[in-house]
Amino acid sequence: MAYSDKVLDHYENPRNVGSLDKNDPNVGTGMVGAPACGDVMKLMIKVNDDGIIEDAKFKTYGCGSAIASSSLVTEWLKGRTIEEAYAIKNSEIAEELALPPVKIHCSVLAEDAIKAAVADIKAKQAAKVSI
């Protein structure tokens, strides 16, 4: 199966690989995994006081499509609000990367990682308010 040029580009030059300080109250972490292929994905977002994502980093162990999906979303996330981030659909990721049907689950993984990271930052913010 051939990867699309966009997948290859992200796979060979992944953007925003790494991590942020997980103890920072403005950093949300989302971790998800797909047992079918053994992929594991960690996405971290840094949100400013206006609810806008300033930075995003990822670390993914998996196939090219999983790496490309997470690399792409880190680019998309910067500058968006957490609500906008939450609304990103896996179909948009799959379409942008021209993922074949057997690799759609990689985009599902990326969408779920965003949702998990947003949920984490919201939980942190709620905890901050209640203190």
Q: Which one is catalytic: 37, 52, 108, 119?
A: 37
Confirm or reject binding of residue 119 to another protein (CB under 8 A).
no
Confirm or reject binding of residue 36 to another protein (CB under 8 A).
yes
Task: Closer to another protein by CB, 8 or 34: give it.
Answer: 34
Binding residues among 92-111 for another protein as defined by CB under 8 A: 104-105, 108-109
Cβ count within 10 A of residue 126:
9
Q: Is 33 exposed, middle or buried (0-12, 13-18, 19+ CB in 10 A)?
A: middle
Q: How many helices (H) and strands (E) does the chain have?
A: 5, 3
Task: Closer to another protein by CB, 15 or 59: give it.
Answer: 59
Q: Which helix (H) or strand (E) holds 33?
A: strand 27-34
Catalytic (active site) residue 63? no
Confirm or reject binding of residue 32 to another protein (CB under 8 A).
yes
Confirm or reject binding of residue 33 to another protein (CB under 8 A).
yes
Length of the chain: 131
Q: Report the C-alpha gap between 129 and 100 in whole angstroms.
A: 44
Q: Report the C-alpha gap between 12 and 19 in whole angstroms.
A: 19
Q: Pick from 42, 46, 57, 80 the residue near another protein by CB under 8 A.
A: 42
Confirm or reject binding of residue 61 to another protein (CB under 8 A).
yes
Confirm or reject binding of residue 35 to another protein (CB under 8 A).
yes
Provide the binding-site residues for another protein, judged by CB under 8 A. 31-38, 40, 42, 59, 61, 104-105, 108-109, 112-113
